[in-house]
A = this chain, B = another copy of it.
Amino acid sequence: MATDKKIDYVLLGLLSHEPMTGYEIKRRIDVSLKLFWSASYGSIYPALNALEKSGAIVKKEIKDTKREKIQYSITEEGREILREWLKKPVVKDEIRFETILKLFFGSEVEQQFTLEHIDAFEQKAKEVKPMLQTVVNQLEPIQEERTHQHYLLAAKFGVKIYDAFLEWCEESKEVLEKEQKKEDKNR
């Protein structure tokens, strides 16, 4: 493989578990990886075509079902490329949280706006966390397959950090609300 794009490894990784269409891959990313990764059709489809040309995956046009679709499977070469990448050290873990950015500069506007950002962040976390917990509960009893074990650890990572988010939200809101009351009194 000439390039070294992350999207390629995401696709190889997902196809190493089972054959899929581009559309299915997109959904899988949105459901299972969105916690720590994301991708759009605009990157998925061109990357699939490139991987197919390079021989890392093969396509199979499915015409027997209602809708025509293109299912991709990983080849042995593709699997080897994936394995090599998995063995290499991690290059970068990145967080880009606009919420914290707006908090950091939030002293420039009324406290209320920062509180609203934290509130929105909290609402989202309260939606996501139970879903992750459900995944953990479903996977916990299954420990035969190694894939399940790895899914479980990833889901547990999610639960851990969302717990941390929620704790932080409560504490921060308390601090800022107290401050807001002080401001109101002085007005």
Q: Show the binding face of A for B, using Cβ within 8 Å.
A: 6, 9-10, 13, 16, 32-33, 35-38, 79, 82-83, 85-87, 89-109, 113-114, 116-117, 120-121, 145-147, 149-151, 153-154, 156-157, 160-161, 163-165, 167-168, 171-172, 175-176, 179
A161's partner among B32, B92, B164 (CB-CB below 8 A) is B164
Determine how many copies of this chain the complex contains. Answer: 2
CA distance A108 to B149 in the complex (A): 12
- Once the chains are docked, how many angstroms separate the CA of A86 from the CA of B86? 40
- B residues within 8 A CB of A91? 98
Name the contact of A121 in the complex, choosing from B9, B35, B90 (C-beta under 8 A).
B90
Q: What's the least CB distance linking A108 to chain B, in Å? A: 6
State A103–B37 Cα separation when bound (angstroms).
13
In the bound complex, CA of A151 to CA of B100 (Å):
10
Q: How far is the CA of A110 from the CA of B104 in the complex (A)?
A: 42
Residues of B within 8 A of A16 (CB): 105, 108
Question: A90 contacts which of B95, B117, B172 (Cβ < 8 Å)?
Answer: B117
CB distance from A33 to the nearest CB of B (A): 7
